[in-house]
Amino acid sequence: MVGCALEPKMAVHCVTLSELEERKQKQLNENGDVEEDCSEKFPSVGPMLTSKLGGFCNRKFIFKRLPILQWLPAYEARFLLEDIVAGLSVGLTVIPQGIAFAVMANLEPQYGLYSAFMGCFVYCVFGSCKDLTIGPTAIMALMVQVYVGSLGANFAILLTFLTGCIILMLGLLNLGFLVQFISMPVTAGFTSAAAITIASGQVKSLLGLPGRSNEFVDSWINVYEHIGQTKLWDAVLGFTTIGVLLLLRSLRSKWSLMGKYLALSRNAVVVIGGAALAYYCSTFGSKPFSLTGTVTPGLPPIKLPPFTTVLNNQTLAFNEMTSMLGSSIIALPLIAILETIAIVKAFSKGKSIDASQELVALGMCNIFGSLVSSMPITGSFTRTAVNNNSGVRTPLGGIVTGVLVLLSLGLLTDTFYFIPKTVLAGVMIAAMFFMIEFHAALEIWRTKKVDIIPFMVTLVSCLLLGLEYGMLIGIALNICFVLYMTSRPNIDQALLRTSSGIEAMVVKPDQSLIYSSIEYLKHEVVKRTDKTQVTTVIIDGSNVSYVDSTAAKIFSSTIEELALRGRTVLLWNWNRSVRCTLIRLNKVQFHPLFKNGGLEQLDKEICNESLP
């Protein structure tokens, strides 16, 4: 079929229809599965599952599920410095962030650091995206704060374990393909909104204002209300930090190797510089900046997540705890997945990603995290951006981050005391600025104007309603676009003329017949044939690869309606599976309509066999 659509000027041997049919038949026979062509095209879970189970043992599967086996043997010495620089930069970001998120979640500060290292180690083994760093995030912290506030830290840790199990399960079931329903405009909108939200949340720290909000609108209301309390030196140091960062970033492509490393390690440079400055001032007894402050030292205990807990002198069993956690057992994994996958998609720059593997990695991170009293963790947008900006080469950078966090817990809490908050805010704002996808928006506008709608809707909903709702709204809207498209098929039409004038009309829907489009199709076909008043209507089914029961029924009624209006209907080029469906619905009177060159007898035999 395909080859024949070419124009005759190309002098090639063209495969004819009958040759193709023959070849297909031969293939079917070779597969020893003649029936398959007449059975449904839809997913047959059985064989899929079997092949999947069989696949658990082979070498390829192990390589796929442990990406470290792929990148570690190919590791080059020159990657090491870059990975260490990036790992340190991320580490220096995650320590104050972790503390802030733990406080936001009503947990003690050290829980933030407990959550920050295990994800790095585990992701290094299972992760396939070099930039992604998994750890505590603002959204996760917000999601658990209700339970922790009223029920205690044990619920957060149990939630980490359950979240991990659910995500791991989804990953092993290969449900990662679901992320292909997140389009580029939605991802771009989400990314931009996340960057704006995070940067907005840091403005207060940049100016040394009080307040704790991390939502876009609340952040700016907070800044507006407290702008009079701006701390001069915090603001000066903060804007200086941003300036220095932008300056160092511009060295990237210029100057020598020295300049390049300075550009890559710029985040670490300003943080260490800031801490040194604050320490220097403190030696004079002066405290011009808001500092990160005391972090309780000590490593977390390694133990199973709490499957029972004591609350108000009552011992709660596992099922009582889970029933108190309610719907968050479902919501938390979903949002963790959305966040991680959106980040991986944003950083994969158009390359195919193995989403199922990312789910496995994320699930593992949470399960192992729950052994060291972690709160639920997921991909962090900020730190992934820092990681990428710092020029990370492999997931090995995560090991450095993890070690740094462990060291900070064990030894360095005094050192981190001096990091000015405003410098960290500056680091985040500078990283976020380059994450707002102006270029993507421009590109979308240039290529396909209508796609700016999901972009803008996602962006605005994320800013106004929060990231998770915004993303869901964006996805739903974009699915509506797809549904609209499938419900309005294009119908090619042509008139076939003999020497004596118009004789027949060919209509050719451009997609399969499904319930959402069939009413429209019926309406159009009847309208168009009425308009031309031809005696014969040929319905060309070459693009129809599937027909569902609703469509089959209404399509049959279309043919009856055309017959009532005195038209002769011929069905041309319909594939066997669709022919079988229509014949099974309408019994044998449908047969004479199909004109496929000698296939009628074959159909009659095959389709009748499967009649009840």
Interface with a copy of itself in residues 294-333 (CB under 8 A): none
Is 545 an interacting residue with respect to a copy of itself (CB under 8 A)? Answer: yes
> 143: which 2 tokens?
């999601």
155/590 with CB nearer a copy of itself: 590
Pick from 288, 282, 245, 229: nearest CA to 421:
288
Is 46 an interacting residue with respect to a copy of itself (CB under 8 A)? Answer: no
Which residues in 441-500 contact a copy of itself (CB under 8 A)? Answer: 442-451, 478-479, 481-487, 490, 492-499
Is 506 an interacting residue with respect to a copy of itself (CB under 8 A)? Answer: yes
Pick from 270, 233, 235, 234: nearest CA to 249:
270
- Least spacing, CB of residue 542 vs a copy of itself, in Å: 6
212/604 with CB nearer a copy of itself: 604
- Least spacing, CB of residue 600 vs a copy of itself, in Å: 15
Which residues in 559-578 contact a copy of itself (CB under 8 A)? Answer: 572-573
- Least spacing, CB of residue 532 vs a copy of itself, in Å: 14
Side chain identity, residue 187: T
79/594 with CB nearer a copy of itself: 594
- Least spacing, CB of residue 601 vs a copy of itself, in Å: 18
253/447 with CB nearer a copy of itself: 447
Is 585 an interacting residue with respect to a copy of itself (CB under 8 A)? Answer: yes
Under a CB-based contact definition with an 8 Å cutoff, are residues 162 and 147 in contact? no
x/- map, 184-203, a copy of itself, by CB under 8 A? xx------------------
- Least spacing, CB of residue 101 vs a copy of itself, in Å: 31
Question: Phi then psi for 182, rounded to 5 degrees?
Answer: -105, 115
Say how far apart CA 255 and CA 247 lie, in whole Å. 13
Is 128 an interacting residue with respect to a copy of itself (CB under 8 A)? Answer: no
Under a CB-based contact definition with an 8 Å cutoff, are residues 555 and 522 in contact? yes
Say how far apart CA 252 and CA 275 lie, in whole Å. 24
- As a dihedral over the C-alpha atoms of residue 145, residue 146, residue 149, residue 154, rounded to 10 degrees, the angle is -80
What is the total count of residues that contact a copy of itself (CB under 8 A)? 92
- Least spacing, CB of residue 358 vs a copy of itself, in Å: 14
227/588 with CB nearer a copy of itself: 588
Neighbouring C-alpha atoms within 13 Å toward the C-beta of 339: 31
Say how far apart CA 322 and CA 306 lie, in whole Å. 12
**Cβ neighbours, 10 Å, residue 349:** 6
Is 7 an interacting residue with respect to a copy of itself (CB under 8 A)? Answer: yes
- Least spacing, CB of residue 394 vs a copy of itself, in Å: 23
371/491 with CB nearer a copy of itself: 491
Is 609 an interacting residue with respect to a copy of itself (CB under 8 A)? Answer: no
- Least spacing, CB of residue 309 vs a copy of itself, in Å: 32
41/231 with CB nearer a copy of itself: 41
Residue among 249, 508, 567, 579 that touches a copy of itself (CB under 8 A): 508
> 436: which 2 tokens?
């707002």
Is 415 an interacting residue with respect to a copy of itself (CB under 8 A)? Answer: no
213/556 with CB nearer a copy of itself: 556
> Cα angle vertex 453, ends 335, 489, to 5°?
100
Which residues in 589-608 contact a copy of itself (CB under 8 A)? Answer: 597
> 398: which 2 tokens?
């995560």
Under a CB-based contact definition with an 8 Å cutoff, are residues 590 and 539 in contact? no
Is beta strand 594-595 parallel, antiparallel or unpaired with respect to 568-572?
parallel
Which residues in 15-34 contact a copy of itself (CB under 8 A)? Answer: 15, 17, 20
Question: Residue 90 is inside which H or E element, if any?
Answer: helix 77-104
232/485 with CB nearer a copy of itself: 485
246/494 with CB nearer a copy of itself: 494
- Compute and round to an integer the Cα radius of gyration of the chain: 31
Pick from 508, 368, 425, 518: nearest CA to 237:
425
Strands (E), 140-295: none
DSSP symbol at 420: B
- Least spacing, CB of residue 162 vs a copy of itself, in Å: 24
Provide the H-helix boundaries in 251-288. Answer: 257-264, 266-283
Is 439 an interacting residue with respect to a copy of itself (CB under 8 A)? Answer: no
Which residues in 257-296 contact a copy of itself (CB under 8 A)? Answer: none
Is beta strand 309-311 parallel, antiparallel or unpaired with respect to 536-540?
unpaired
Residue among 226, 231, 393, 553 that touches a copy of itself (CB under 8 A): 553
DSSP SS3 for 308: coil
Is 81 an interacting residue with respect to a copy of itself (CB under 8 A)? Answer: no
Which residues in 512-541 contact a copy of itself (CB under 8 A)? Answer: 512, 514-517, 519-520, 522-523, 540
Q: The dihedral of CA 540, 545, 551, 556: what is its sign?
A: positive
Q: Judging by beta carbons within 10 Å of its beta carbon (0-12, 13-18, 19+), is residue 486 exposed, middle or buried?
A: middle
- Least spacing, CB of residue 126 vs a copy of itself, in Å: 22
> Cα angle vertex 552, ends 550, 555, to 5°?
105
Is 4 an interacting residue with respect to a copy of itself (CB under 8 A)? Answer: yes
